[in-house]
Structure 1
């Protein structure tokens, strides 16, 4: 029998972490350190790739187009691999093992990227490290959130409050990562920044293992199948995974060696087209041939519309790490009291606004709901796009006056990020919730995957759009993005009453 001082007993009473299960603290800091590593490295990624290959702190010397395409492909696969990562946890390992193995692979990826510090070659370690981080994030990211949900079998408002605390950990890590990794990477050595990201993930793994007992039974494999069935499934999974990775590795080597005359930009564009075509065909099948009722077909049509809007939103928002990061480096005056702050530090602005703005937006929606004036889901998506567009219009205005000799104040980027965050808080929190409400009962898991694909597609497009800095001045690029996104937002607002009718009584 557990004593009153036993942490397991305290966890069971739910009074160990802001009145929540003790396991929430374990997951809070695991995710905080994982996001520290992810956003810390991401803040350096495009800057490192575009830095001159010679000098005191050499980079890879890539063109803007190539660097942005690599960035888009990297962030695309981070989201896409969340789908097989969830499958592995559900069918082979359980979420708890998937999180730990994923974190180990992430840390290995960051240290691989830092390989030139011990004399390893730049390009193989760079791309090998990115591949490892993608695989590890696919295992960790979706499953740590699943374990949080399992800490609250009763569901309800307490679970929502637990997730709110958990998301604060995400943004705390996203805030700190660029500050530490950015300073080390830009001011000392890029690979020190990558190393710092790896050490952050190691800290997360250490505290995860130390606090694992607080998770109780959450995150264990629950298939109920025999060992022989699981072993056979594992063999098939490893064989298929090895074949896929081997094929991708061979293609990457052939492109890098010149055996295949295909640019990375072409690969990214082709992949984007394929994803769009597959998404259209998939929804056409669901609506026309899958045997759903009339109401379900209407709601699937709404999901497809929200999928398009979400992909457009992320295609602009996720330029924070690419085109906006390059603008911060090249055209922003970052000198404070005679010292120039790293460009990557401005990547920490968005998490600050999330931490401040999320509770305010939550209170706003509740207040409007009491007055029966809470905007519908389609209207919130439209407002998200309009907020994003407003941010790009502001930055286009600032960029029109910026030159390398006369850079502009960082206030232009701060205001832009504030508007982008407002758009994110209108669209992102209601995204997954709306999908679960609209999806047919036998399609909820698939529709959750669709949401990840929308994010992945948006990230891929963001990289391709940012690559246009090779051909367009920053002011023209930001203005074009603002006009396209703003136009989509206006269309979404105009058709929102019709979309609301298709939703029926779902809200």
Structure 2
């Protein structure tokens, strides 16, 4: 029995008690993440619109076609997730989360102000791509580590002494951690709502680069309050003493490897821009996607079977590329090659289960489930992230945004999803609890299937609306609002259980790697989203959205049909 009354607020690690019964440091991290998401979603809402805006107008853009703009969008959003992996490593091994978040925020602000460079007379294209690069690096440092710090505000029972009172208090903190994260996620959505309103309005109605500047100033505000609230974080976010001795040696190795990677990337970019290497942004993005999927397949083949099987699959891919590319071209040939390797990997796993029977370990069964969820998540995000690309173009070109003579900025429709998240998240939380009390809570694989079905339903709605839309007779925004409502329902079914499922199913000692798999699924999905959005140049919008609906719906139906056998492979994990 605890010595504290039920209504007493819990002390934070820093001894402060003022933030709704939660550690005061939560407020510091809440507003840091809110302003970071303000800057991210504010710029994201403008990105494709700016790239596709004509050059010879009052508010000129880059004049890109949808295919090139989609490729840039996909590369940018996917790299944000990919760099979260080294960003987390840097914090854990070199800097600590406290420093990584601050440095990341500074680099993000630098990126936004670099994108606004033409306001001061700097050239357009170099500042645009340099700014995107800075934002990617900064977000990779900030995003994974600010969430880690939120969790560290609440000590676990294992992290404290054997003192009974301390142990009980730690259990109280553990019980409140979920509530703390709920408050934190409200900050994410608040930033996602405010960013498109402020940055979008300035970018569309004044000048694109003022919108980018506003995103940078938002990040600066986040950094100011982060440093002002530093005292409320106690020792949270500092590098553990056990890592201090090894940090210099690890740092030398990391900076050396990072320097080599940067040099190779710079050389590749120089040769591509100069025409020495014949590669387009679309082609590069496509093959990056093939590479991400191939490496993930090989990684799971190694874990489930052996290195020899992984080497065999790699040899099959190389042989198929050599055989198919000369006759079909690099893009189509690579697509058939990666599809064949993926199909072969799935067949191998089914055969492995059938032949091994009860001898197949629980760990390997759960790894198969993780890979299945990885595929479903990649499909989901490839459709969901059309919001910032093809659906953003649909909102601009084929949606009637004029109300009583006033034209609503296109970017304001980007707010619909986070607004629905704020409204519906408590509803879904109550629903899952209500179902669990009746022993009817859907399993993780079933929720993934429901999420994909919700996504598909939204795309069927918008394809119906797009079939009626023309430039001369645009359709009401209600089509997009209903679509975003269905997409939000799908997101709330799939996304909250995604990362937690990776940690639950991960083998001992590989939790961090499986969390990385979730980020890679998001990266792959975002990359595919950008490439799919580029098809709006050659496909009518209704056909594009219908194609996405069929793919997402097909994946969702398959996920629902196999949810029971997949659940059995989870071996008791719920």
- Class of the TM-score when normalised by the shorter of the 2 chains: over 0.9
1:441 paired to 2:508: yes
Equivalent in 487, 490, 499 of residue 557 of structure 2: 490
2:452 is matched with: 385
1:49 is matched with: 51
Question: 1:160-309 alignment to 2 at 5 Å?
Answer: 160-227=178-245, 229-289=246-306, 294-309=361-376
Cα offset, 1:231, TM superposition: 2.0
Stretches of 4+ moved more than 4 A in 1? 8-14, 290-293
Equivalent in 76, 83, 86 of residue 81 of structure 1: 83
Over residues 106-150 of structure 1, what are the superposed CA-to-partner deviations in whole Å (9 max), with x where a residue is unaligned?
Answer: 000000000000000011000000000000000000000000000
1:3 is matched with: none
Cα separation, 2, equivalents of 1:486 and 1:196? 38
1:111 paired to 2:113: yes
Kept in 1, the 8 Å contact 2:119–2:209? The answer is yes
Cα separation, 2, equivalents of 1:431 and 1:385? 13
Query: RMSD of the TM alignment (CA)?
Result: 1.5
Cα offset, 1:223, TM superposition: 4.9
Over 3 Å counting, the alpha-carbon distance change for 1:293 and 1:439 in structure 2 is farther
1:450 paired to 2:524: no
1:124 paired to 2:141: no
Cα separation, 2, equivalents of 1:75 and 1:312? 15
- Corresponding residue pairs, total: 499
Structure 1, 229-238 or 44-53: larger mean CA deviation: 229-238
Over 3 Å counting, the alpha-carbon distance change for 1:10 and 1:492 in structure 2 is closer
2:345 is matched with: none
- Per the normalisation by structure 2, the TM-score is 0.85
Cα separation, 1, equivalents of 2:388 and 2:27? 29
Q: Which 5+ residue runs of structure 2 have no aligned equivalent?
A: 1-9, 157-172, 309-358
Cα offset, 1:226, TM superposition: 4.8
Cα separation, 2, equivalents of 1:89 and 1:337? 52
2:342 is matched with: none
Cα offset, 1:256, TM superposition: 2.4
Cα separation, 1, equivalents of 2:482 and 2:282? 31
Cα separation, 1, equivalents of 2:11 and 2:442? 43
- Per the normalisation by structure 1, the TM-score is 0.96
1:29 is matched with: 31
Cα offset, 1:337, TM superposition: 1.9
Cα offset, 1:259, TM superposition: 2.5
Kept in 1, the 8 Å contact 2:463–2:542? The answer is yes
Q: Which 5+ residue runs of structure 1 have no aligned equivalent?
A: 1-7
Kept in 1, the 8 Å contact 2:445–2:563? The answer is yes
Equivalent in 62, 69, 81 of residue 67 of structure 1: 69
Kept in 2, the 8 Å contact 1:81–1:138? The answer is yes
1:421 paired to 2:439: no
Cα separation, 2, equivalents of 1:233 and 1:10? 32
Over 3 Å counting, the alpha-carbon distance change for 1:499 and 1:10 in structure 2 is closer
1:15 is matched with: 17
Cα offset, 1:258, TM superposition: 2.3
Cα separation, 2, equivalents of 1:199 and 1:471? 38
SS at structure 2 position matched to 1:441: coil
Cα offset, 1:232, TM superposition: 2.5
